[in-house]
Chain A
Amino acid sequence: GNSVTQMEGPVTLSEEAFLTINCTYTATGYPSLFWYVQYPGEGLQLLLKATKADDKGSNKGFEATYRKETTSFHLEKGSVQVSDSAVYFCALRRDDKIIFGKGTRLHILP
């Protein structure tokens, strides 16, 4: 079946550190891939997406590249800020629905 696996949290980093949150997927074909972010007390916001192999999605300094050969879509940011503290969800689209990973909570310390 279709599923998304992402690294367990919480992840705690100091401000300006490099961030990687790993995400791998299982799916038939080549689904669109997404990262959503949920800030404390808020809903889900689309952070970035990629719709085909080798596409790179980017937004707010975050990047993720659609890797067909490793079925991965790892999220990276070169220098995190305290304001990046949130829960990050990797997801794929299959037909009508978005299938989410469990989420990774990120804490950034000043």
Chain B
Amino acid sequence: EPEVTQTPSHQVTQMGQEVILRCVPISNHLYFYWYRQILGQKVEFLVSFYNNEISEKSEIFDDQFSVERPDGSNFTLKIRSTKLEDSAMYFCASSGAGVRTDTQYFGPGTRLTVL
């Protein structure tokens, strides 16, 4: 069964450093998403991406964050200057196969630890 994959599974970085989290969505999907889950809290929507542009973003997704689909398979989340409060599990998701569908399929997550 096709699945969303994410790398790395765990990333440790120093405050102020840039990080790039990588995702490979399901191959025929057209809609891509990032969510995060701070330890012990809700899973929160960050951003959605379609047709090479952001379609919706949350208040969390400020100028420190950016997303990109650099090629036909990868979808990345960049945090330019990490803060302690960026420590969280980051989930990538994808949906759709030609038409917009409800079901979003999630990857296993990347745990980001900012020291």
Give the interface of A toward B (CB within 8 A). Answer: 32, 34, 36, 42-46, 49, 51, 89, 93, 95-103
Contact = CB atoms under 8 A, between A and B. Distances in A.
B45 interface: yes
B43 A97 contact: no
Contacts of A99: 45
A45 B6 CA distance: 14
The residue among B35, B58, B106 with the most chain A CB atoms within 10 A of its own CB is B106
B102 interface: yes
Interface in B43-62: 43-45, 48, 55-56, 58
A44 B42 CA distance: 12
A101 B43 CA distance: 8
A interface majority secondary structure: strand
A71 B28 CA distance: 34
26 contacts: A32-B102, A36-B106, A42-B108, A43-B91, A43-B109, A44-B43, A44-B91, A44-B106, A45-B106, A46-B104, A46-B105, A46-B106, A93-B102, A93-B104, A95-B56, A96-B31, A96-B55, A97-B33, A97-B56, A97-B58, A98-B43, A98-B45, A100-B44, A101-B42, A103-B42, A103-B43
Sorted from nearest, which 10 A-B pairs have the closest CB atoms? A43-B108, A96-B48, A97-B45, A44-B106, A96-B56, A100-B43, A32-B102, A43-B109, A43-B106, A102-B42
A45 B1 CA distance: 13
